[in-house]
Structure 1
Amino acid sequence: MSAPPDNDVLWARGIVKSHHGTPALRGVSLGVRDGEVLAITGPRGSGKSTLLGCLSALLPVDEGEVWFNSSPVHTLSRAGRERLRRDRFGFVGSEPHLVPELTARENVALPLLLAGAGHKAAYSAAAEWLERLDVSECATRRPAELVQSQRQRIAVARALAPLPPVVFADDPTAPLHREAQDQVLRILASAARSHQLTLVLATHDPELARYADRTVSLVDGRLVGPIAPVLHGTAATAVNAVAGR
């Protein structure tokens, strides 16, 4: 067992994973550089969510290795994987999974409070991210009072507010219409770049991968090759402006 390259914050070698006997990943090897915005594309059922699950310590691998910052993830116990996800990773799925009893602001502040942040700092950061995601008017409302697109933006704010080293986004814009999808992806990508976070995005929509620094594709659980996306026109201008370039 050898450690990954120093500039890879995440590194996987020969990952094999099956669900109830059905292969989902078939020997996937992948490195993710520190501060990189990486998009993983592919059709539905190609293994994108499973790959994110293995990289983020949500799922144990059947075979292979997963490393985070030169530390092995694949040898961790279930409790160890839970601590890693809580302390070092942010996650946004296609469903928001907010705490129903809490307001939007409380939901976003929650991971900061659990990490030991003071009440004032946690709520100040929550307010800032709700504003950046254009849902500041929802701050005192509970999830049941909101539409799905608002709940999803709040989930994105919750993932970004603690500024974790790595944010995993599994089809995070699925509940949104096209204009909102572009806005949220711009915010995710620009936040990652401006705060030196690593963003790993899974999407079946290749149009959304244009915000990434690099794209890889999965087909039937196998990595089929990298694509180097280039931003053009208004998309490039928007991303570079928000990122301060």
Structure 2
Amino acid sequence: MAAPPDNDVLWARALHHAHSGSPALSAVSVEVREGEILAIGGPRGCGKTTLLRCLSGQLVPDEGEVWFNSSPVHTMGPVAREQLRRDRFGWIGPEASLVPELNAWENAALPLLLRGIAHRAAKKAALEWLERLDIDTCAKRRPHALLQSQRQRVAIARALVTAPAVLFADEPTATLHRADGAQVLRTLLNAARSHRITTLIATHDTEVAALADRTVVLIDGRRVNSRANMGSSDTEGLQACSLSV
């Protein structure tokens, strides 16, 4: 079992996984460089979410290897994988999944508070991220008082507040209208690029995928191609982007 190349922060080889006997991934290999924004593209049901969950340690593949910074994620026990997700990874899903009893800044600060970070320091970090994501004016509102796009920004702040090495975003704009989706995606990618956060975005939308540095495409659980995206580092183009979400 050989470790991945030194310049790959995340690396997987020959992943196989099935859900209730139905194949979801078949011999999928992928590599992600430090600071890279990688899109996992393909139609709905092609295995994008399963791949992200295997790479992030949420699922253990039936076969194959997953490495993070030369550490074998696929051989880690549940406790070690949970610690890895808590300390080094961030996750954004299609739904914000905020705690309804907590306000916006408390939701954003929750990962730090669960780590035992002092209340004042956790609040300061959460408010700084809410400001970067243009949602600081809503810091004291609870989720029910926020618009859907605002809730998703809080979820992004929650994922970024721990300064993760890798950010996983599973269809992060899927539930948003086009204009809201473009704005949320712009803030997400700007934050990732400015902080050199390795980012994986699963999307069925080719326009969203084109904004990444590179795209890996899945069809029926198999990797069919990989391509570099021209001009993907220019996030200014996001302002005019019309997303099919």
Output the TM-score relative to the length of structure 2.
0.92
Question: How do residues 138-157 of structure 1 correspond to structure 2 at under 5 angstroms?
Answer: 138-157=138-157
Question: How do residues 178-193 of structure 1 correspond to structure 2 at under 5 angstroms?
Answer: 178-193=178-193
Aligned residue for 2:99, secondary structure, equals coil
Aligned length: 238
Pick closer, same or farther for the CA change 1:126–1:205 going to 2, 3 Å: same
Aligned residue for 1:74, secondary structure, equals helix
Q: 2:65 and 2:116 mapped to 1: Cα distance? A: 31
Q: 2:62 and 2:180 mapped to 1: Cα distance? A: 37
Q: 1:211 and 1:125 mapped to 2: Cα distance? A: 28
Give the % identical residues. 62
- C-alpha distance after superposition, 1:108-146 (max 9, x if no partner): 011122234332222122112222222223211111222
- Runs of 4+ in structure 1 displaced over 3 angstroms? none
Asked whether the equivalents of residues 185 and 211 of structure 1 are also in contact (C-alpha less than 8 Å), the reply is: no
- Matched residue type, 1:151: R
Which deviates the most, 12-21 or 170-179? 170-179
What's the CA shift for 1:59? 0.6
2:224 paired residue number: 224
Aligned residue for 2:234, secondary structure, equals helix
Question: How do residues 128-207 of structure 1 correspond to structure 2 at under 5 angstroms?
Answer: 128-207=128-207
Asked whether the equivalents of residues 55 and 66 of structure 1 are also in contact (C-alpha less than 8 Å), the reply is: yes
Q: 1:62 and 1:114 mapped to 2: Cα distance? A: 31
What's the CA shift for 1:3? 0.3
Asked whether the equivalents of residues 211 and 235 of structure 2 are also in contact (C-alpha less than 8 Å), the reply is: no
What's the CA shift for 1:211? 2.0
Asked whether the equivalents of residues 39 and 202 of structure 2 are also in contact (C-alpha less than 8 Å), the reply is: yes
* Structure 2 unaligned blocks of 5 or more: 239-245
Pick closer, same or farther for the CA change 1:191–1:76 going to 2, 3 Å: same
What's the CA shift for 1:182? 1.8
- The yes-or-no answer on 1:213 pairing with 2:213 is yes
2:123 paired residue number: 123
Pick closer, same or farther for the CA change 1:237–1:26 going to 2, 3 Å: closer
What's the CA shift for 1:239? 6.7
Asked whether the equivalents of residues 14 and 63 of structure 2 are also in contact (C-alpha less than 8 Å), the reply is: yes
2:234 paired residue number: 236
- C-alpha distance after superposition, 1:50-87 (max 9, x if no partner): 00000000011100000100000001112221111111
Asked whether the equivalents of residues 66 and 73 of structure 2 are also in contact (C-alpha less than 8 Å), the reply is: yes
Q: 2:67 and 2:51 mapped to 1: Cα distance? A: 13
Asked whether the equivalents of residues 186 and 235 of structure 2 are also in contact (C-alpha less than 8 Å), the reply is: no
- The yes-or-no answer on 1:37 pairing with 2:37 is yes
1:243 paired residue number: none
Q: 1:192 and 1:237 mapped to 2: Cα distance? A: 11
Pick closer, same or farther for the CA change 1:84–1:144 going to 2, 3 Å: same
- Matched residue type, 2:106: E
Aligned residue for 1:211, secondary structure, equals coil
* Structure 1 unaligned blocks of 5 or more: 241-245
- Matched residue type, 1:58: Q
Q: 1:86 and 1:237 mapped to 2: Cα distance? A: 28
1:68 paired residue number: 68
Q: 2:130 and 2:184 mapped to 1: Cα distance? A: 12
